[in-house]
Structure 1
Amino acid sequence: MRTKLVNAEGATDTTSDAALGTGLVVLFAVPGAFTPTCHVNHLPGFIANESKLRAKGVDRIVCASVNDHHVMKAWAEGSGALGKIDFMADGNAELAEALGLARDFSGSGMGKRFARAAMLIRDGIVDAVFIEDGPGVNASGAPAILMALEVAAS
């Protein structure tokens, strides 16, 4: 899938294969940049645990959302995550659809979005998927991903 990747070098056109296909990648998906739960509960956990995730062998942490790359860049900068976490702008929800994580948030005026989720991807192959089954951040938060990495290592 074609996408835009926002990182410390700026925003670049790329593919999901290029962004997620090498090494151990934690991909976490959120319904929307700057939305209350995403901004206050989901992203901050990954920022705070970035060094712990890297110590567990994670090569790249990527946050995906169905927003344009301008919004994702503003969110990365405003949250202090730029340079720690890469941001993937899936403006047309194509990656969300391909991963089976697209959800209809039309009732809230948001259209098609990612379900709140996280995955562990090793060399382009999804090892584990964690999808929230209700409101809040539990299964897809950084502490849960750290625990999954510990279990996988033992």
Structure 2
Amino acid sequence: MTIKVGDSIPSMKLTQGTPEGPKEISTEELFGGKTVVLFGVPGAFTPTCSAKHLPGFVTQADALKAKGADVIACMAVNDAFVMSAWGKDQGVGDKVVMIADGSAAFTKALGLELDLTGRGLGVRSQRFALVAKDGKVTHVAVEAPGAFEVSKAEAVLAAL
């Protein structure tokens, strides 16, 4: 079942891609006591994700934080090394936390998995954005296949 407004973020361990290498982070640590904007993408270094989705959140980071976001996090079903390299390539600095969900466990717990095995990509994340306050979801938007409207930074900014 897909996560919805009012639901709690599942308690899990995630991996953060950092310049120093992978760092384990719990969802309690990431979401607890904060307003978090989490957006998920089908894959690091993929066309829409690299040209529009992640860059939009980097560009809008200050505006999102001015409207109450404490943390902006990007998640993909990739490993932490790939997420770290993608963050470096995109110049995210400290504006966006790069979260790796290498086995898609968190993505599945959110009910946001996308089976692309027929296209040789395995199980990925749907394109989405959510806002959670102290671990409770206050906004969630999942894109229709091939779309890029409701999960972009400007749409999340309007929802804050």
Query: Within 2, Cα distance between the matches of 1:62 and 1:8?
Result: 15
Q: Deviations over 1:46-99 (max 9, x none)?
A: 011000001101100000100000000000101001211001100000000000
- Which one of 83, 108, 122 corresponds to residue 133 of structure 2? 122
1:6 aligns with 2:30: no
Alpha-carbon distance, 1:7 to partner:
4.4
Question: What SS does the corresponding residue of 1:62 show, helix, strand or coil?
Answer: strand
State the shift of 1:19 in Å: 1.4
1:93-112, aligned counterparts within 5 Å?
93-112=104-123
Deviations 1:77-134 (A, max 9, x none): 0100121100110000000000010110112211111100000000000111100013
Asked whether 1:53 is paired with 2:64, we answer yes
Unmatched runs of 5 consecutive residues or more in structure 1:
150-154
Provide Cα deviations, 1:20-70, integer angstroms capped at 9, x if missing partner.
223110000000000001111100110110000011011000001000000
User: Structure 2 length normalisation: TM-score?
Assistant: 0.89
SS at match of 2:39: strand
Counting aligned pairs with the same residue, the percent is 43
- Number of aligned positions between the proteins: 149
Asked if 2 retains the 8 angstrom alpha-carbon contact of 1:63 and 1:87, the reply is yes
Q: Is the 8 A contact 1:31 1:113 kept in 2?
A: yes
Secondary structure in 1 aligned to 2:144? coil
Higher helix share: 1
Task: Tell me, yes or no, if structure 1 residue 29 matches structure 2 residue 27.
Answer: no
Moved more, 13-22 or 129-138: 13-22
Contact preservation (8 Å) 2:19, 2:84: no
Structure 2 letter corresponding to 1:13: E
Return the alpha-carbon distance in structure 2 between the equivalents of residues 15 and 65 of structure 1: 16
Q: Which amino acid letter does the alignment assign opposite residue 98 of structure 1?
A: A
- Corresponding position of 1:66: 77
Helix, strand or coil: the match of 1:61? strand
Task: Tell me the TM-score normalised to structure 1 length.
Answer: 0.92
